[in-house]
Amino acid sequence: MKFRQIHLVSRPSGPAASLDNFAVVSCALPASTATMAKNSVLVRNAYLSLDPYMRMRMSDVKSYAAPQPLNAPMLGGTVGQVALSNFDGLKVGDWVKLQGGWAEYTELPGKACTKITVNKDVPASAHLSVLGMPGVTAFYGMRHLIRPKAGDTVVVSAAAGAVGSCAGQLAKLAGCRVVGLAGGADKCAVVVRDFGFDACLDYKAHATPKELQESLARECPSGVDGYFDNVGGDVLNAVMPLLNPFARVAVCGAIANYQAAKPVPLLQPNLILTSRLQLTGFIISEQPKKVWDEAQAELERLVAQRTLKWKETVEHGLENAPKAFLSLLRGGNVGKQLVAML
Ligand SMILES: NC(=O)c1ccc[n+]([C@@H]2O[C@H](COP(=O)([O-])OP(=O)(O)OC[C@H]3O[C@@H](n4cnc5c(N)ncnc54)[C@H](OP(=O)(O)O)[C@@H]3O)[C@@H](O)[C@H]2O)c1
List, for residues 12-24, the tens digit of each pLDDT value: 998 899 999 999 9
Q: What is the predicted pLDDT for the residue at 62?
A: 86
pTM: 0.98
131-184 pLDDT tens trace:
999 999 999 999 999 999 999 999 999 999 999 999 999 999 999 999 999 999
The protein residue whose alpha carbon is closest to atom 43 in ligand 1 is: 331
Ligand 1: which residue has its CA nearest to atom 10? 253
Q: How far is the CA of 329 from the centre of ligand 1 (A)?
A: 8
Contact 137 CB / ligand 1 (< 6 Å): yes
- Closest by Cα among 26, 24, 20, 19 to 7: 24
76 lines ligand 1 (CB under 6 A): no
Query: Residue 103 has what pLDDT?
Result: 98
Check pLDDT > 90 for residue 342.
no
HSE, CB side, 13 Å, CA atoms: give it for residue 30: 19
Q: For residue 35, how far is the Cα from the chain centroid?
A: 36
Half-sphere exposure for 143 (CA within 13 Å, toward CB): 17
Give distance in angstroms: CA of 335 to centre of ligand 1: 10
DSSP classification of residue 71 = T
SS3 211: helix
122 C-alpha to center of ligand 1: Å?
Answer: 24
Q: Are strands 95-98 and 105-109 parallel, antiparallel or unpaired?
A: unpaired
Contacts 24+ apart (CB under 8 A), 201-206: 203/157, 203/234, 203/235, 203/238, 206/238
